């Protein structure tokens, strides 16, 4: 991809524990262009959220640290910014919708105060201007009676309304990049659809780039332009959404797609991927998926495959395709 707004190259984010070093993000690279939705998909614990936190500079030190790689936003090296510069960037050019709105919002501040805060901080609006803009944002995300909502506290709103408030806060300063971490988790299907429609509308209206983190392949199919599949801290397959869904190459990606329930399909039991995600402490130099893979070969136990291009825009890290890519 060229002209990327967000560029991540060989990112490594580790956590230091009494048991050893957890390689939560282990040498990943990705690009997000303006107006594009890139979905990171994978099981819990694969490093999706840590990747987002690394971009925002929110990895808590000294327990966690970005130990290698490069993160650039519109050419600016984010890893070299001072804490104040990172704070100015967050909420202004880059905003995030967190997974749990109840734990992300301040319980002792009104909804209005929390929406108005970035408007004061980044846009330097007066109190009157910020209040008018906050009411406008609440209406924009589809919540009725915005004047009443301004005076409400988080515990007085439903989960769906809180997620909309999180989106209102995130888009308050018209960010160029919106990071959404499991934005529809724990919401019923009707509210999920409304939240996804809202994100699409924001993207189309403001040409906002979206980095969407999810484990829901239905969300990926509906929202993504480009898909990045992560496993045990690494990217194991990536490509345009239609290509990846119609022609998944990595056994793990195929397993994820086969495990997705299909409406109207009568089965006694859903497909599943056997085994468990490996412990991220002390990983061997092998394919991390080898002990769960039905296509495992001897080389898979000995060496880590590199992410190689096999089709136009479609890359995979799997020994099955080394010969096909002409790189065996």
Query: Tens place of pLDDT for every residue, the chain, 328 residues?
Result: 457 999 999 999 999 999 999 999 999 999 999 999 999 999 888 999 999 999 999 998 889 999 999 999 999 999 999 989 998 898 889 999 987 778 889 999 999 999 999 999 888 999 999 999 999 999 989 899 999 999 999 999 998 899 899 999 999 998 999 999 988 877 788 888 888 998 999 999 999 999 999 988 889 999 999 999 999 999 999 999 999 999 999 999 999 998 776 666 665 677 788 888 888 998 888 999 999 998 999 999 999 999 999 887 899 999 998 765 444 4
Instruction: Report if residue 183 sits inside a domain.
Output: yes
pLDDT of residue 323: 60
Instruction: Report if residue 196 sits inside a domain.
Output: yes
What is the C-alpha to C-alpha distance for residues 301 and 291, in angstroms, rounded to an integer? 8
Burial of 307 (0-12, 13-18, 19+ CB in 10 A): middle
Q: What is the dihedral sign for C-alpha 191, 194, 200, 206?
A: negative
Q: How many domains does the chain have?
A: 1
Q: For the chain, give the number of residues.
A: 328
Full domain range(s) for residue 25:
4-93+175-321
Structure tokens at 189: 């299907």
Instruction: Report if residue 163 sits inside a domain.
Output: no
| CATH, residue 65 | 3.40.50.300
Instruction: Report if residue 292 sits inside a domain.
Output: yes
Instruction: Report if residue 222 sits inside a domain.
Output: yes
What 8-state DSSP symbol labels residue 108? Answer: T
Give DSSP secondary structure letters for 5-57.
EEEEEEEEEEEEETTEEEEEEEEEEEEEETT-EEEEE--TTSSHHHHHHHHHT
Which residue blocks in the chain are alpha helix, DSSP H? 48-56, 83-89, 101-104, 111-123, 127-140, 146-150, 159-171, 189-206, 217-223, 241-246, 251-259
Instruction: Report if residue 29 sits inside a domain.
Output: yes
Q: With beta carbons less than 8 A apart as the criterion, state whether 93 and 40 touch.
A: no
**pTM, full prediction:** 0.90
Instruction: Report if residue 83 sits inside a domain.
Output: yes
- Residues in a beta bridge with 37: 210
pLDDT of residue 203: 93
- Dihedral angle, C-alpha 151, 154, 157, 162, nearest 10 °: 110
Rounded (5°) CA angle 278-227-4 = 115
Residue 95 CB: number of other CB atoms within 10 A?
Answer: 25
Instruction: Report if residue 112 sits inside a domain.
Output: no
- Dihedral angle, C-alpha 74, 78, 80, 81, nearest 10 °: 100
Q: With beta carbons less than 8 A apart as the criterion, state whether 215 and 41 touch.
A: yes
Sheet of strand 64-73: strand arrangement: 20-33, 4-17, 64-73, 76-77
């Amino acid at each position: 991809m060229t002209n990327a707004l967000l560029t991540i190259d060989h990112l490594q984010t580790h956590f230091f524990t009494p048991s050893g070093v957890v390689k939560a993000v282990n040498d990943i690279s990705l690009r997000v262009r303006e107006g594009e939705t890139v979905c990171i998909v994978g099981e819990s614990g694969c490093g999706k959220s840590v990747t987002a936190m690394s971009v925002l500079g929110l990895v808590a030190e000294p327990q966690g640290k970005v130990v290698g790689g490069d993160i650039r936003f519109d050419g600016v090296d984010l890893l070299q910014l001072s804490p104040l510069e990172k704070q100015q960037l967050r909420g202004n050019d880059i905003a995030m919708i967190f997974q749990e709105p109840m734990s992300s919002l301040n319980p002792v501040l009104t909804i209005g105060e929390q929406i108005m805060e970035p408007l004061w901080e980044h846009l330097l609006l007066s109190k009157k201007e910020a209040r008018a803009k906050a009411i406008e944002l609440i209406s924009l995300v589809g919540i009725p009676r915005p004047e009443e909502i301004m005076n409400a506290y988080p515990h007085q709103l439903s989960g769906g309304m809180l997620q909309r408030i999180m989106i209102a806060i995130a888009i308050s300063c018209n960010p160029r990049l919106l990071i959404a971490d499991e934005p529809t988790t724990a919401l019923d299907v009707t509210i999920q659809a409304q939240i996804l429609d809202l994100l699409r509308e924001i993207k189309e209206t403001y040409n906002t780039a979206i980095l969407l983190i999810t484990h829901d392949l239905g969300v990926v199919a509906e929202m993504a332009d480009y898909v990045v599949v992560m496993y045990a801290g690494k990217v194991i397959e990536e490509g345009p959404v239609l290509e990846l869904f119609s022609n998944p190459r990595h056994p793990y990606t195929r397993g994820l797609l086969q495990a997705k329930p299909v409406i109207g399909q009568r089965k006694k039991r859903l497909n599943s991927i056997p085994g468990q995600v490996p412990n991220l402490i002390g990983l061997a130099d092998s394919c991390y998926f080898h002990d769960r893979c039905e296509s495992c070969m001897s080389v898979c136990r000995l060496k880590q495959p590199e992410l190689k291009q096999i089709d136009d825009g479609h890359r995979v890290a799997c020994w099955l395709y080394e010969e096909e890519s002409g790189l065996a």
